[in-house]
């Protein structure tokens, strides 16, 4: 892979710029109907499942910073950091294979732990508020 301006790199960047720019429907136009994505949560198959996987994350995105992008005609790697409503920093990397101008395969790499910890803390805070409220049985 080189850092040139190959077709896969152009598609990966267009996809990234669309979803991080709040244009998720546009981003999905760069995803093949039969896309396969291997992510920390497991394998995701098909554009519908991929949309269901990515949409919640895209919806909580505050900002994204592209750190690096490399690619050629068939594969591209993008590395970026995100700030979301849950975490201030959520770095990720995607290695994509492009077929006929669309992402056919994605290996999505990110650390789930900060997101899980933030969700757990939010649930704990929520249950503490409810347990202390007289109408929920707390004192």
DSSP 64-89: EEEEEEEE-SSEEEEEEEEEESS-S-
Which positions ≥6 away from 86 have C-beta within 8 Å? 60, 114, 115, 118, 119, 122
17-36 burial: b if 16+ Cβ within 10 Å, else e: ebbbeeebeebbebbbeebb
Residue 60 φ then ψ, to 5°: -100, 5
Structure confidence at residue 114 (pLDDT) = 77
Model-wide pTM > 0.85: no
Closest CA to 100 of 9, 38, 8: 8
Structure confidence at residue 25 (pLDDT) = 97
Question: pLDDT 10s digit of each residue in the chain, 139 long?
Answer: 445 679 999 999 999 999 999 999 999 999 999 999 999 989 999 999 999 999 999 999 999 999 999 999 999 999 999 999 988 889 999 999 999 999 999 999 998 777 777 778 878 876 655 555 444 444 4
């Amino acid at each position: 892979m080189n850092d040139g301006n190959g077709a896969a790199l152009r598609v990966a960047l267009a996809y990234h710029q669309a979803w991080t720019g709040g244009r998720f429907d546009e981003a999905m136009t760069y995803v093949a109907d039969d896309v396969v994505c291997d992510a920390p949560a497991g394998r995701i198959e098909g554009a519908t499942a991929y949309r269901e996987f990515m949409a919640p994350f895209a919806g909580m995105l505050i900002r994204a910073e592209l750190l690096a992008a490399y690619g050629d005609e068939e594969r591209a790697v993008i590395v970026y950091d995100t700030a979301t409503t849950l975490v201030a920093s959520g770095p990720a990397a995607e290695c994509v294979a492009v077929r006929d101008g669309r992402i056919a395969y994605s290996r999505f790499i990110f650390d789930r732990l900060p997101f899980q910890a933030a969700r757990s803390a939010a649930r704990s805070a929520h249950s503490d508020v409810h347990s202390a409220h007289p109408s929920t049985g707390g004192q």
